[in-house]
Amino acid sequence: MAVTINTLRDYKQKGEAFSVLTSYDATFAQIVSEAGVDVILIGDSLGMVLQGHDSTLPVTMDQMVYHVSSVAKGNRGSLIMADMPFMTYGTTEAALENAAELMRAGAHMVKLEGTDWMKDTIHALSERGVPVCAHLGLTPQFVNKFGGYKVQGRDEKHAELMIEHASELVAAGADAILLECVPAPLAARITQAVQAPVIGIGAGADTDGQVLVVHDMLGMVTGRKPRFVKDFLAESGSIKGAIEAYVAAVRDRSFPAEEHTFKA
């Protein structure tokens, strides 16, 4: 049975963790979905892992549409979530037009990075039938404003603000929240504070779901390995086995372990 946003809501209500993994082509999409991954994310991370850029900013809508279309052809029942690239949702009108392109290509949900300024855009998308995941914490498209890739929400003032923003975005219509590089205690507070499913990466084991870049969890990391990454291929011996091990570890909450998380 195909995974939908209702499936993710049910997981949250039952306290069952769900898995998210990136894919960028039909072959990986089929392997990932058949291994039991609930959500496939076509991330603008493709700008770094596929194209060799040092950030996600150069990724274009045409490129995202191409990869979403490829993933949709290989998918076997996972929910498909697609990133909206840098500055493609700077206005509500642009967001509506560009989200429509991604949905027509095969996405079931779009993901936007930002805080309370996205409320009107999220409301407009939701009102028009586009499910939205709001990305908070370390938002890679803001790397130049942050001055690098840094953990967000370490002090109480910024923690309270992130909780407030998450609540406001869910009230505006966001169907999910993604928290990246957020201290585990804060991620747990946000997960409890909102009704929408919360997905974490570098945000501890108490979120409703977990996401990783497929290249990272297969040990295909160039340069410094992020703290939140685990090489599942090293223990399983095959790509399919590694992905199945990731799904199982997320479900039983053995991943992420303490060494993969950040403290306040």
Going by the annotation, the residues of the binding site for 3-methyl-2-oxobutanoate are 44-45, 83, 111
| Active-site residue (options: 34, 164, 180, 258) | 180
Annotated binding site for Mg(2+): 44, 83, 113
Sequence ranges of the binding site:
44-45, 83, 111, 113
Q: Which residues of 15-48 are buried (b: 16+ CB within 10 A; e: fewer)?
A: eebbbbbbbbbbebbbbbbbbbbbbbbbbbbbbb
Q: Any catalytic annotation for residue 180?
A: yes
Name the residues annotated as catalytic: 180
